[in-house]
Structure 1
């Protein structure tokens, strides 16, 4: 997640919290909400991004080193995102990113004071950032094969695949969207070969690196402790 100072409609300078890939304004460090800077369905005017110092009292307090100051919304969201991801890894599933999934995740965590729903977009952005970092990490000793990876909150990247990754067949032309799990990525005399297994299909299949790149999209990387 990116932070940049932005000018609100009333002239106050706020601490803006942005999508790290698309530059979309998600929220503000204060509790005013992003509509203090952009009206509904309005695009952010780049001229509103400024290097001027914060003037919004709540945004200034959120960035204060005073231990009695209210917690910064971005940092608070990060702590919740870390908890959700750790719980998902322990279960061996990718973390939920929709509102209902996040609500259920916090119920599963048993938090006495779960975050308000207004914090969900920031939590989701932190989760997306962490999943993107994980998806882009090249496993040591694994031949590099790149496939399309679409971030949940926007943006498509080229990501390397590794053992345990879930890939989806790109069925735009065929309507075939089956999901496979990567079992091995190996260098051979004929080039890189990727072995995948599919649910309800008894035999693993082998694909060349170029065919995997052409026909598959990456969904997510296996949990770090899987």
Structure 2
């Protein structure tokens, strides 16, 4: 199992209580995602955390498989889904490489790709779970867009310190820029059909891509 699982297990309860950092950006990305979903869709969400996004989107699709490597996060997600009377979410424990087999109609990965050890391997997994024409929808912080600024160097300095004190996951946090992320998605066999930045300041690169 991924080495970061203990970190996410440890912070799950606090993570569940924390307010969304940028509610407007979250809602904007959620709205765009919802616009692509159909009632008959089978959806896979990678890195579902405590299930908030899956619960929001579940009424619009046939089924969501919400996958995460943290058992504690999934436990909270199950409780939340039950409290919300949402019964079409199937929670799955595992890393991205251990994601359930497809084919799914849509794969989601929000605020996940920059935390994975191998972006190209992860995108290959996504492609393998989708048929031709299936959609991949993601949102990824692109910290590399701040390169050269004080904010960039602050991130670069603080993340290793936070990791040392157990305040950040053990694996590397990637500083993607927008063009390299877009290029990686296309190289994995997708055609990008929509992009956006939510929020704009430190871009949360939103991508909708169709499997070729």
Normalised by the size of structure 2, how large is the TM-score?
A: 0.25
More strand by share: 1
For the pair shown, the structure with the greater C-alpha radius of gyration is 1
Greater RCO (Cα-Cα under 8 Å, separation 6 or more): 2
Normalised by the size of structure 1, how large is the TM-score?
A: 0.24
More helix by share: 2
